Chain A
Amino acid sequence: MRYSYIKPRRKTALSKDMQLLFTFFSVTLFMLFLTYGFLVFRDYRFDQNHAEILQEEKNLRVGIEDMKVKIAMIENQNILSERVFTKNSVLKDSIHNLFDLVPSRITLSQAKIMENGLILYGVTPNKDIYNFMLQAPLRSIFHRTYSSFYPLDNGWFRFVSTNYIDEEANDEY
């Protein structure tokens, strides 16, 4: 039962100055904790980004290795293609030279170009023309040259010229 005419004033252990001081410290502490929280969050995000970057770096390194392998392969292919191209050029030149080598009076019906040899099939009016005009240059190119003649009905000869270059001799060069 309340008997007093008035209610007691609200009491506090903290004076106005103390309240101000506590408010100030509270705000300061709040700001410190806020900053700490922000830094912790940033640290967490930094670690997360660092891990992501490391993973990316790892992936990139794997990619680089793959690419290096691919580059090596492409370079090999390039070398191979160049070699093929060179070979083709050489072959082309060889064929061109071969056709330049063949005199107009001799007609070639077939030519087999091998790695170490050349087999020519054709028709010649006579053996001399063949021997002087075709066999002589062939002999200068190939180490071994074998010729076979088959007479045709019209007096001409079908010939088969088999020419080889010795590998040992090739290696010397």
Chain B
Amino acid sequence: MLSKILETLYTKVFINIIIGYTKSIVYTEVVSKGVVVSSDTKEFKTGTLNNEMHEHLKSCISQSPYHYITILDKSVNQGALPTCRDVKNYIDISTLHTVCVDNDWTFYTSQESIKDLKYEYQSVGVDLIFSPFPILVTFFKDKIDTSLSIFALVEEKNISLCVFNNGKLLYAEYLHIKNMKSDDNLMMDTILEDDEDEIALDLDDIDLDDIDADDDITSLEDFGDIEDLSNDLDIEEFSEAQEIVNKEDEKEVSAEDFNDDYNKFLMIQDSIHNFYQDEKYDSEFVEHIYIADSIGVSLDLKKYLEEEMFLTVVVRKIELGEKLSTMAKVEIL
């Protein structure tokens, strides 16, 4: 009774942690009588709990004794199944923690990962651990109940993918994008090979007769006057060379993004392929994909999905911190 009275007097602080591989986000919401008083997002360039993040969490905790720390599960061994009763037919649940939703489908994670999370955050404590699947389901609630589509929550290095047919889960998989350096190179090689082929094809199309050899000679002659150039011009040329180097860096970055998106596309493709092939799942042909985008996916991924898999792609931006906080509030308030 006394604790209930005290609880109404204090504000509640919801601290939501989204752990990434290169950065982690801490989204904090201060709630008073069900109304959000203030919110704050802080980004840390770490994938684990470091001192800076620990200090920030401590300062958030100190705001109110009624604080709730929520973490989004990043366990590789997590997923969802289209049943509650026959889970054993799909996986060995002896080491898993399962949660049944509406007596219709189940999401799970390994008990070990929950223990690990609790152990890592024991200095500040953990109150709620959410799977990305219920987040995805609540985010696309309007679409899930009325269509046969693929739904994917895209994070930095993870994709939570599921297929729903009018509210009925058909298939789900948690995809982890590995650091595929060799594969990336391989993929890049193949792309380059493709490009070379295209170049070769282009070369075939070139009519050698159309080339004006005199133009090339004059340009070479211009190049021959290089000794007459002043020092100023040398400097200008040097600066141009620098720009070229910078452009090359940008190209590398975009190449990484390109690799990531292509990897994501491949993994989605593999997963859907598995859904169609595996007899355990009631596979149906899917034409739509709804992407909950938490990192800002490039248009390339959308293009791949549209062109390679002939899917209608809808990308919807999701703020994972706010979504986590909403779910935590539903559980607590």
Contact = CB atoms under 8 A, between A and B. Distances in A.
A114 interface: no
Contact of B126 (A2, A6, A13, A14): A6
Contacts of B114: 5-6
B90 interface: no
Interface of A: 1-6, 8-9, 11-15
A5 B65 contact: no
Contact of B129 (A4, A12, A13, A15): A4
Contacts of A1: 101-102
The B interface, classified by DSSP as helix, strand, loop or mixed, is mixed
Interface string B96-117: 0101011000000100001000
Given A3-B331, A4-B331, A9 B125 contact: yes
Most buried by A among B3, B70, B118: B3
A13 B10 CA distance: 8
B97 A13 contact: no
A30 to B, nearest CB: 16
Contacts of A3: 99, 101, 130-131, 134, 327, 331
B203 interface: no
Contacts of A6: 114, 118, 126-129
Nearest to A5: B129
B6 interface: yes
B73 interface: yes
Contacts of A12: 3, 6, 65
28 contacts: A1-B101, A1-B102, A2-B331, A3-B99, A3-B101, A3-B327, A4-B129, A4-B328, A4-B331, A5-B99, A5-B109, A5-B129, A5-B130, A5-B131, A6-B114, A6-B118, A6-B128, A8-B128, A8-B332, A11-B7, A11-B68, A12-B6, A13-B3, A13-B6, A13-B9, A14-B6, A14-B65, A15-B65
Nearest to A22: B2
A1 B327 CA distance: 10
Given A5-B97, A11-B65, 15 more contacts: A1-B102, A2-B331, A3-B99, A3-B130, A3-B134, A3-B331, A5-B73, A5-B99, A6-B127, A8-B127, A8-B128, A8-B331, A13-B3, A13-B6, A13-B66
Contacts of B328: 4
Interface string B76-106: 0000000000000000000001010110000
A10 to B, nearest CB: 9
Contacts of B70: 4
Contacts of A4: 70, 128-130, 327-328, 331
A1 B331 CA distance: 8
A9 B127 contact: yes
Nearest to A11: B66
Interface string B278-305: 0000000000000000000000000000
A11 B97 CA distance: 24
Most buried by B among A3, A8, A12: A3
A105 B66 CA distance: 139
A11 B134 CA distance: 25
Closest 4 pairs between A and B when the two form their complex, measured CB to CB:
A8-B127, A4-B128, A13-B6, A3-B134
Nearest to B73: A5
A29 to B, nearest CB: 15
Contacts of A8: 68, 127-128, 331-332
A50 B328 CA distance: 68
Nearest to B133: A3
Contacts of A2: 99, 331
A13 B127 contact: no
